[in-house]
């Protein structure tokens, strides 16, 4: 059946970032709706971000388009050009390969809920704009921008 029982979709709290980069995202909650529905060409995540939480580290994708659509609450989108408030009903897109790092912070006093949609290109490299961190879809490992791993001396 194509209908997804959203209540039964596993909850993933936090991020896979190595410490200390994981701390700002520790309270975010993700439900992988695309995975639950068996999608392989693109992913759809139902995200819940409490006050003070970050969606991610500020980043951009080499081969993956991304879209967010706010369902509830208010988020501050931060990118190279500055800050933009996103409220319920607002949408933002991030084309691949631009080098324009982005993320969202919940600076409001209420929980924000949004959909995050992205292609699943196996060649994608995610590069963090403000910290020494990147990750390739090919293996999912977070490494320094010189390719060395965290905890490797």
- Helix, coil or strand: residue 125: strand
What is the token pair recorded at 141?
A: 């490992």
pTM above threshold 0.85: yes
CB 69 within 8 A of CB 99: no
Contact call for residues 14 and 55 (beta carbons, < 8 A): no
How far apart (Å, rounded) are the C-alpha atoms in residues 45 and 89?
Answer: 16
Query: What pLDDT tens digit does each residue of the chain (153 aa) get?
Result: 689 999 999 999 999 999 999 999 999 999 999 999 999 999 999 999 999 999 999 999 999 999 999 999 999 999 999 999 999 999 999 999 999 999 999 999 999 999 999 999 999 999 999 999 999 998 989 999 999 998 754
Query: Where does the chain have alpha helices with state H?
Result: 33-36
Mind listing the domains of the chain with CATH numbers?
28-141 (2.60.120.10)
């Amino acid at each position: 059946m194509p209908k997804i029982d959203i209540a039964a979709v596993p909850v993933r709290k936090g991020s896979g970032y190595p410490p200390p980069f994981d701390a700002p995202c520790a309270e975010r909650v993700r439900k992988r709706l695309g995975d639950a529905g068996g999608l392989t060409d693109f992913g759809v995540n139902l995200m819940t971000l409490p006050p003070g939480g970050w969606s991610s580290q500020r980043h951009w994708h080499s081969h993956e388009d991304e879209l967010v659509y706010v369902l509830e609450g208010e988020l501050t989108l931060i990118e190279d050009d500055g800050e933009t408030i996103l409220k319920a009903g607002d949408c933002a897109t991030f084309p691949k390969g631009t080098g324009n790092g982005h993320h969202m912070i919940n600076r409001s006093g209420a929980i924000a809920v949004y959909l995050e949609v992205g292609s699943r290109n196996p060649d994608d490299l995610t590069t963090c704009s403000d910290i020494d961190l990147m990750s390739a879809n090919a293996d999912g490992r977070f490494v320094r921008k010189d390719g060395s791993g965290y905890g490797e001396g």
